[in-house]
Amino acid sequence: LNDPYVKLAQKEGYRARAAYKLQEIDAQFGLIHPGQTVVDLGAAPGAWSQYLRRRLTPGGAGGALAGCIIALDILPMEPIEGVHFLQGDFREPEVLQRLEQTLAGRKVDVVVSDMAPNLSGIAAADAARVTHLIELALDFARAHLQPEGTLVVKLFHGSGYAELVQQFRQTFKVVKPLKPKASRDRSAETFLLGRGLKNA
């Protein structure tokens, strides 16, 4: 409860302190602008979607949404006005198909992924699960991003990290590892940003 980001989230109406991680990345790289199509993977409880909703509303809170936000999670999520929410497992082809149908042919400007598997404590198995989710996000980005679009994923330092950075470098023109201040120091989580598809 002494966490300043927890207090700030309560004050500003965010469902989780995670909103400030995305806010920091957005401030650094100018990711989110009105008029964009954004996909939020691993969205529940919804703090990132809330942040996106606010950024895509030029007139401030309660204004008309300029753009499109599609959120996906295996867990249920309380509705957020203007956000299309799909409940399902991103690893299942039919869920991916529903996401593609919701896009209706639109190219995506930004994909943000706060997805993390349920960790078992067995390092090798957990690393493989994390890698699998990020590879799926990369595949989705290759297929659906605008040529100059951006993918931001959460990942963890440890086994498989270097290989994932390498895959990002093969896919994107610009690759940046990030550790927002709102990410707890003791946490192994980190973020990776890729921008501009190499083979678009």
State the pairing for strand pair 145-156/37-41. Answer: unpaired
The two structure tokens encoding residue 42: 């691993």
pLDDT score, position 170: 97
Q: Which residue has the tokens 């990030």?
A: 178
- pLDDT number for residue 64: 85
Per-residue H/E/C for 53-122:
HHHCCCCCCCCCCCCEEEEEECCCCCCCCCEEEEECCCCCHHHHHHHHHHHCCCCEEEEEECCCCCCCCC
Per-residue model confidence (pLDDT) at position 1: 63
Report pLDDT for 61: 62
Per-residue pLDDT of 126-163, as tens digits, reads 888 989 999 999 999 999 999 999 999 999 887 789 99
Considering the candidates 154, 173, 179, 198, report the single residue annotated as catalytic: 154
For position 157, what pLDDT does the model report?
82
- C-alpha to C-alpha distance for 190 and 92, rounded to whole angstroms: 25
68-73 and 83-87: which strand pairing?
A: parallel
Residues of the chain falling short of pLDDT 50? none
Task: Answer yes or no: 154 catalytic.
Answer: yes
105: left (phi > 0), else alpha (psi -120 to 50), else beta? left
